[in-house]
Every structure is written in C-alpha cells, then in structure tokens.
Chain A
Amino acid sequence: MDEFVNLKATELRLGLPGTDNACEERERVSCNKRTLQGVTENETESSMIKTGTCPPRKAQIVGWPPVRSSRKNIIQTKKNESDSEGGRGVYVKVSMDGAPYLRKIDLSCYKGYKELLKALEIMFNFSVGEYFEREGYKGSDFVPTYEDKDGDWMLIGDVPWEMFVCTCKRLRIMRGSEAKGVGCVV
C-alpha cells in the first residue's frame, strides 16, 4: 500500500491531511459514539479498561455483500496483515517509561484527545496535566507523545484528531527529564 499511500500524501487538496474519506469513514463506522457526560466515574473506568474492545462494528448482514467466501478470505488476510504492520494505525502500541510491559489500544474507539488521554491515564495510572497550545503539557511529569509516519516523536494534541489517527504509529508516555524538549518551551 506504500506507493499508493504516498501518492495520496502528495496530492494537492483543500482539506487538511488526514481528512480523507478513509479516516472519516472509519471513525463514523467503527463504533457507536459514546458520550462521557453523565457517565459515572466507575462506569468510565470499567468501560475504558476494556481497552481494544470497541463496541461492535456495524452489524454484518448475512450473505452481504454478495461476494464468495474465497474472495472475502483474501481481503481479510490483507486487512489483518496491514493491521499488524500498523499501517492503518487503528491498533497501536502504548509504552510508558518505566512500565514493565506495553499495552495496545484501538484509536478508532475514541472520539478525540480528551477520551484518549483519559483512557491512558486510567490504563497507566498517571496524570497528563493540562494541554497548552504553546507550552505543551504542564502540571505533570508525564508527557504523552506519539511516533508518526515519518518516525518523528510528536506531542499528542497538536494536530486535528483525524489527522492524528491516520498518522499515528505508536504512543509513548514520556517521563521526567526526557520529556523536556518535546513540544514544550520550558
């Protein structure tokens, strides 16, 4: 898919990168939009802890689309392979400095940064502080970052959510002195 994706990246469009149909559609289709307002703390916690278990996708109709199993199988294989390469960025690894093992989350489960960060905070039991456009995250030793398609480590929150979901390859919660220098002016 590499060459094809690169063509898309260099395409001149009016929209921001990341606002192509692929990402929008995926967000729309993937899970029922959950609103956190009015949901108790406990509920949030328990639903967030089920990381990667997104509410089920659109119910699949038996025998639809009218495609033979042998064809469905090759498409599924391709999907699984590209998923595991992280090409689609749906399931991404999350590491936290000092934690013994990594986790994986499904980015398409979240509506935006607020939900994502809340989920990470619960998962790793920490606090990210407050996000400022200029200074980055203040009030915490932890800084949420992500590796983008170019291999650069970026601060989470700078770009529009859709663009983030499309370009994010993995997450890393940086800590302490190493966190300095990533998007913050201090």
Chain B
Amino acid sequence: MNYFPDEVIEHVFDFVTSHKDRNSISLVCKSWFKIERYSRQNVFIGNCYSISPERLLRRFPCFKSLTLKGKPHFADFNLVPHGWGGFVQPWIEALARSRVGLEELRLKRMVVTDEGLELLSRSFVNFKSLVLVSCEGFSTDGLASIASNCRHLRDLDLQENEIDDHRGQWLSCFPETYTSLVTLNFACLEGETNLVALERLVARSPNLRSLKLNRAVPLDALARLMACAPQIVDLGVGSYEDEQDSESCLKLQAAIRKCTSLRSLSGFLEAAPHCLSAFHPVCHNLTSLNLSYAAEIHGSHLIKLIEHCKKLQRLWILDSIGDKGLEVVASTCKELQELRVFPTDLHGGGNTAVTEDGLVAISAGCPKLHSILYFCQQMTNAALITVARNCPNFIRFRLCILEPHKPDHVTSQPLDEGFGAIVQACKNLKRLSVSGLLTDQVFLYIGMFATQLEMLSIAFAGDTDKGMLYVLNGCKKMRKLEIRDSPFGDAALLADVNKYETMRSLWMSSCEVTLGGCKRLARKAPWLNVEIINENDNNRMEENGYEGRQKVDNKLYLYRTVVGTRVDAPPFVWIL
C-alpha cells in the first residue's frame, strides 16, 4: 500500500466505514494515521467526557457527522439525578467556532438547550440531520429554530426525549419553499400539533420516507397524511381512537392500501382495539412492528395483526400478547431477528402474561433470532438451557425477571445454570443482562465463556467479590459494565486497575464499595474519572472527617478519559 499515492489510499479508506475499523487502520502507521484523520467523515464518541471538542477538532478537522453519548445507561431508569451532566452546549459552540462543515448530529442521553439548537441551526449551512435520543432540556422553540434555519434539513428524528412542548408553531416554521424532508419523528411530543401546518409540510415533501406522529394527531388527519404520502416506508401512528364515523374509517383504509412501500409500523399511542384491522392489508410487507406503547390493545387483536406479518424482522410488543401470542409469533414470523417484550405490570402482582414457555417457543420457531429483551415474572433453568440449544446465535440477550432474587420457579434453584448455558452456546454474545436469583457461579460461567461480551448489566446478583472478579478477569472485550444492588466491594474494584483502561465505563450503585476504596482507585489511575454521585445528602460526603470505610451509599461511575476531571460537574457529584 505504501507505493500508492495518498489519494488512492484515501479512496480505499472510503470503503471502511465502521468507526472501529477506522480506528484500527489509523494505528497501522503514521502515514495511514494522517490520511485517515483527514478523511474521516463520521466520528463516534461513546462518552462525551472521554475527550474534549478541541481535541476532537485537532484530530479530525474534516468530519461531517458527529455522534455523542452523554449519561450512563442507567440514567434511563432515573438512577442519575437531574443536572449530572452530558451538556452538548460546549460541543456545539466549539464546532460553530471551527470550520467544520457539520451535516449530521446524533445525540444520546445528553442535555440540549434551545440556545444550543439555535446556534446549531445558524452555524452549519449544510446541516442535514438531527437525531436526538433520550435527550432533555429543550423545548419546541428549539425545534422552531431548526425548522426555520436549516434549509437543507433531511432528518428530524426525536426519539423518546423529554421536550417542553410550548404548543407553538414550530411545524409552520419550515419555509414554504422547503421540500427536502425525508424523516420526521415527533412522537415524543406531548402537546397539540398544528395539523394544517403538518399536512402542508407532508404534502410538499416528496422524499418523505419516515413519519412518526404524536398522540395529538387524530385518525382523520392520519388518513389525509397517508393520502399525501403514499411513498411512506416507516409510519408512526399517533392517536388511533375509535373511528367516529365509517367514512373516515373507509378513507383511512383506502389510504393505507395505497401505501405499498410501508415496511415499518409503530405508535398507536392511544388506540382502540378494533382499528388495527385497517392495517391488515399492508402487514404482509412489514419488516418492523413496534406496538410497545399500545397499552390499550389487547392480546387477541395483537395476535390477529401478527398472523398477517410473515416477513417481520423486528417486533416490539407488550406482554399482554401472552405465551399464546408468542407461539403465534413463533409460527408466523420466521424471519424474526429482534424481539422485545415489555411488561404491563411493573410490580409482579398481576397475571403472568408471558412466562418461560413463550421464550422457549420463540427460540424454537425463529431461527434468525439474534436479539432479545424479555420482561417476565418467572423463569427456569430448563427453559434457558432449551433456549440456548435452540438459538446459539444470540448477539444480545437481555432477560429481566421482574422480582429481584427470584429463583427457578420449579426447582427453587438459582438461575446460574440457565444463563451459563446461554453464554456457553452463544459464542457471539455481545450484550447480556441477567436477573433472578444468581450466585457467583453465573459470573464464573460468564468470565469463562462470554469471550465476545462487551456490555453486561447486573442487578441483585452474586454473593462475593469473586463474582465481579470472574467477569473482570475473563471478559477481555468488556466495554460497559453496570452493576446495581450486588455485594461487590473494594477488593473486586481494585484488583486490576488497568482493566478500566480497556473499558469505556463502570457503574456501581448500592454495592459494597467504600469511599476509601474509590479514593485508592482514583489515586492509582489518574487517567480515570472516578465520580461519586451523592444525591441524598450533599453534606455527608465531606473530604475531611469521614472514615474511608464509609460505604458509598450512592453511585460510583468511572470512565477513562484523556482530558481529566470535567469542569461542569454539579455539587452532588464528587470527582475523586
């Protein structure tokens, strides 16, 4: 390769798109490092505090797309207090000052402000794509700036954000001359929507492929929108309550029938059961179906819909579908790759809608299944062993038994053997979440067999430090480890400090680590940020006067970084 001019090498590098691969090729030699850094288009930063915007810009002056992630995963479940961090403002400001021709910004679990969105919209002439996932801190005013100023916007994709809805006219801020919309997802907005502006926008967007509406868009508006956009591929239905009259129902059915490109369906945020049948004509083409927010639709209707979806690859559903429903899925959806079953009863007191039987049925019926998230109230080792045998191709296996410490409900044994079978059979397993009654033994299995494991979530599991040590010593590819309510302490935390340099982050809450242990770790590893999030009592964790043996009541979050202690931490976050 060294005989080729740089332009040729650069052209070859164009075909290398995954950031992992690009990181690898940049390590080959100085020449490749240089070529690669000037040609990298998409930059991925998994932890916004691992690096600073200035250093990013020094290394990659020419990128077009930036992906940033902020808060740790457990922030999704309210374990990270408000104000912890993950502010995107300094990044937008730095990028605006530079000459980067930013076209795409993808943020996950970050704090975004209206000012930031305004600055973003004014600073990058070719800005095309804004994807915000699980973000917060902004309002529809910020969206109005984006709509008004981004002339070449293609994607505005808002997934599960907390947005202050001022019920303003952000949709009417898109200029009349603006026709380049491809993706519009505002399903997470809670307030009223200007339907007229929406319809006009959709009508003048011939390239629109993905449209996800919020609950304020009623049925008749949906019919009109679909009639304007028969080319739609991905549809998120908003409110879908009782059809008021048969005429609007007929109009909807006619509109749906014309949407022959429709492949993905979601939403049904407020839905009456019998309306699903209007979508039966397009089911045979669907590859993705997300009914996980359709709490009003009940088992039998879900089943009737799914019976038509023979090409389904991705299914997100509520456990109201039941084991019987999952059997229907298993016999119908032979192309299924990803399944998520969410709970309808959060406290384990209701009907046992899905059990280990449903999981086994799916594993037996769907040969292409590689990703699963399954909430249930009971499990057995036998079932997990069967699942492992049926499905050795799992890449992601996340099982959440709702009641902590719950054993195998038939044998009353821990579920060590079941999960052990999973990790032993699934040689490509990258992500695992365990639950139920588990001893150190399961971690021995994980350390021994889960060689490709990158992310592990542990809750209410294990007996001693040995458990955590098995994982830290065994899983060479571990990147993210998150643990809560498990008896792992300082011995495990401090056993191999260098391990954390190979990982993105470690989270431990309600475990047995002590303040002294965390301090020792911080001293040994200056390239780590060791944060204690102490939300209960700001005064308790004072530097002076507390024994190092004080248990960390709250949360430990540590991550590797090249830029040292962050400066934006709130008072309740103590960086050691």
Q: A-side interface residues toward B, CB under 8 Å?
A: 1, 3-4, 7, 20-22, 25-26, 28-30, 57-58, 60-72, 74-75, 77-78
Given contacts A1-B298, A21-B352, A65-B400, contact A57 B347 (CB under 8 A): yes
- Residues in A with CB closer than 8 Å to B348 are 25, 29
Considering only CB atoms, which chain A residue lies closest to B292 in the complex?
A71
* A-contacting 9-mer, from B72-80, B238-246, B568-576: B72-80
Report whether A25 and B350 are in contact in the complex, using a CB–CB cutoff of 8 Å.
Answer: yes
* A-contacting 9-mer, from B177-185, B280-288, B338-346, B448-456: B338-346
- Residues in B with CB closer than 8 Å to A61 are 404, 485
Report whether A67 and B77 are in contact in the complex, using a CB–CB cutoff of 8 Å.
Answer: yes
Decide yes or no whether B459 CB sits under 8 A from chain A.
yes
Considering only CB atoms, which chain A residue lies closest to B76 in the complex?
A68
Secondary structure type dominating chain B contacts: loop
Report whether A60 and B347 are in contact in the complex, using a CB–CB cutoff of 8 Å.
Answer: yes
Q: How many Å from the CB of B148 to the closest CB on chain A?
A: 28
Please, could you name 6 A-B residue pairs with CB atoms under 8 Å apart, sorted by A?
A20-B351, A22-B350, A25-B348, A61-B485, A66-B77, A69-B78
Q: B-side interface residues toward A, CB under 8 Å?
A: 74, 76-79, 134, 160, 188, 269, 273, 292-293, 295-296, 298-301, 320, 342-352, 375, 400, 402, 404, 433, 457, 459, 484-485
Q: How many Å from the CB of A76 to the closest CB on chain B?
A: 9
How distant is the Cα of A58 from the Cα of B347 in the complex, in angstroms?
8
Report whether A75 and B347 are in contact in the complex, using a CB–CB cutoff of 8 Å.
Answer: no
Report whether B78 and A78 are in contact in the complex, using a CB–CB cutoff of 8 Å.
Answer: no
User: Which 8 interchain pairs have the tightest Cβ spacing?
Assistant: A29-B349, A63-B77, A78-B295, A63-B79, A25-B349, A74-B295, A22-B351, A4-B298
Given contacts A64-B404, A66-B77, A74-B269, contact A3 B352 (CB under 8 A): no
- Residues in A with CB closer than 8 Å to B188 are 70
- Residues in A with CB closer than 8 Å to B299 are 4
Considering only CB atoms, which chain A residue lies closest to B345 in the complex?
A75
Kindly identify which residue among B78, B301, B346 contacts A62, using a CB–CB cutoff of 8 Å: B78
Given contacts A3-B298, A4-B300, A7-B300, contact A62 B79 (CB under 8 A): yes
- Residues in B with CB closer than 8 Å to A78 are 295-296, 344
How distant is the Cα of A167 from the Cα of B300 in the complex, in angstroms?
22
- Residues in B with CB closer than 8 Å to A3 are 273, 298, 300-301
Report whether B344 and A75 are in contact in the complex, using a CB–CB cutoff of 8 Å.
Answer: yes
Best-buried of B188, B351, B375, B485 by chain A (most CB within 10 Å): B351
Q: How many Å from the CB of B267 to the closest CB on chain A?
A: 12
- Residues in A with CB closer than 8 Å to B402 are 65
Kindly identify which residue among A25, A29, A63, A71 contacts B78, using a CB–CB cutoff of 8 Å: A63
- Residues in A with CB closer than 8 Å to B320 are 4
Report whether B404 and A68 are in contact in the complex, using a CB–CB cutoff of 8 Å.
Answer: no
Q: How many Å from the CB of B347 to the closest CB on chain A?
A: 6
How distant is the Cα of A25 from the Cα of B342 in the complex, in angstroms?
20
- Residues in B with CB closer than 8 Å to A28 are 349
How distant is the Cα of A60 from the Cα of B433 in the complex, in angstroms?
21
- Residues in B with CB closer than 8 Å to A57 are 347, 349
Q: How many Å from the CB of B552 to the closest CB on chain A?
A: 16
Q: How many Å from the CB of A98 to the closest CB on chain B?
A: 37
User: What 14 additional pairs, Cβ within 8 angstroms, besides A25-B349, A77-B295?
Assistant: A1-B298, A3-B273, A3-B301, A4-B298, A25-B348, A29-B347, A63-B79, A64-B459, A65-B343, A67-B343, A67-B346, A74-B269, A74-B293, A75-B346
- Residues in A with CB closer than 8 Å to B375 are 65, 67
How distant is the Cα of A7 from the Cα of B292 in the complex, in angstroms?
23
How distant is the Cα of A7 from the Cα of B298 in the complex, in angstroms?
12
Report whether B346 and A66 are in contact in the complex, using a CB–CB cutoff of 8 Å.
Answer: no
Report whether A66 and B459 are in contact in the complex, using a CB–CB cutoff of 8 Å.
Answer: yes
- Residues in B with CB closer than 8 Å to A22 are 350-351
Considering only CB atoms, which chain A residue lies closest to B77 in the complex?
A63
Q: How many Å from the CB of A117 to the closest CB on chain B?
A: 25
- Residues in A with CB closer than 8 Å to B345 are 75
